[in-house]
Chain A
Amino acid sequence: DQQVKQNSPSLSVQEGRISILNCDYTNSMFDYFLWYKKYPAEGPTFLISISSIKDKNEDGRFTVFLNKSAKHLSLHIVPSQPGDSAVYFCAAKDSSYKLIFGSGTRLLVRP
């Protein structure tokens, strides 16, 4: 049973527009969430994180929103750039601090 779900396997957006990647989780005990970006033939790289005591965290073009009541988080990329094309994974830390990952969303930003 997947505790962290990314229901959209792929997303395509136009350069300059907003990309919104979604993630749902089932365990209300998760208290820290992260987004990683992965290019082909490379390991995932940390992008942005959010603690459950916050509902928003912003870093440049990247903003993560957390809705605890809905057990939902989203990553907004504004404006999207072709270099943002990658697979994005959301992850949650469980009580033993293990990272539980979603299955990823492949983002394609069209020039």
Chain B
Amino acid sequence: KAGVTQTPRYLIKTRGQQVTLSCSPISGHRSVSWYQQTPGQGLQFLFEYFSETQRNKGNFPGRFSGRQFSNSRSEMNVSTLELGDSALYLCASSMRPGGTSETQYFGPGTRLLVL
């Protein structure tokens, strides 16, 4: 069974531009979550989608948005990029949303560098 895939793996953008990252969950998984990882900050939750609906949102500005398609694939978009948006963006999938013991499986991430 294929794991979570993320494209592209690496991306370089300049300030003010926008970017779209893509995530394909494990087959059969319908919940997708996005995280931002920066040095010293660990992973910070961005949002979670299930059945094309955003179920949960972290504490990020409105420049960060996402969506999920009927096939459970998800995209996240960052508009008006800032230098501080440089990070590793990780996507995780699970069969169901939330739940105490539901395990999330992570993709390899997209490393975004904003110049």
A contact residues vs B (CB 8 Å cutoff): 2, 4, 6, 9, 31-32, 34, 36, 41-46, 49, 51, 89, 91, 93, 96-104
Contacts and interface: CB of A to CB of B under 8 A. Distances in A.
A97 B43 contact: no
Contacts of B66: none
Given A31-B100, A44-B106, 11 more contacts: A2-B42, A43-B90, A43-B92, A46-B105, A51-B100, A89-B43, A97-B98, A97-B99, A97-B102, A99-B33, A101-B44
Nearest to A4: B42
Interface in B87-115: 90, 92, 97-109
30 contacts: A2-B42, A4-B42, A6-B42, A42-B108, A43-B107, A43-B109, A44-B43, A44-B90, A44-B106, A45-B106, A51-B101, A89-B42, A91-B43, A96-B56, A97-B56, A97-B97, A97-B100, A97-B102, A98-B48, A98-B56, A99-B33, A99-B35, A99-B43, A99-B45, A99-B104, A100-B45, A101-B35, A101-B44, A103-B41, A103-B42
Contacts, number: 61
Q: How large is the interface on B (under 10, 10 to 19, 20 to 34, 35 or more residues)?
A: 20 to 34
B88 to A, nearest CB: 9
Interface of B: 4, 33, 35, 40-45, 48, 56, 58, 90, 92, 97-109
Contacts of A89: 42-43
A46 B44 contact: no
Given A45-B106, A46-B105, A93 B4 contact: no
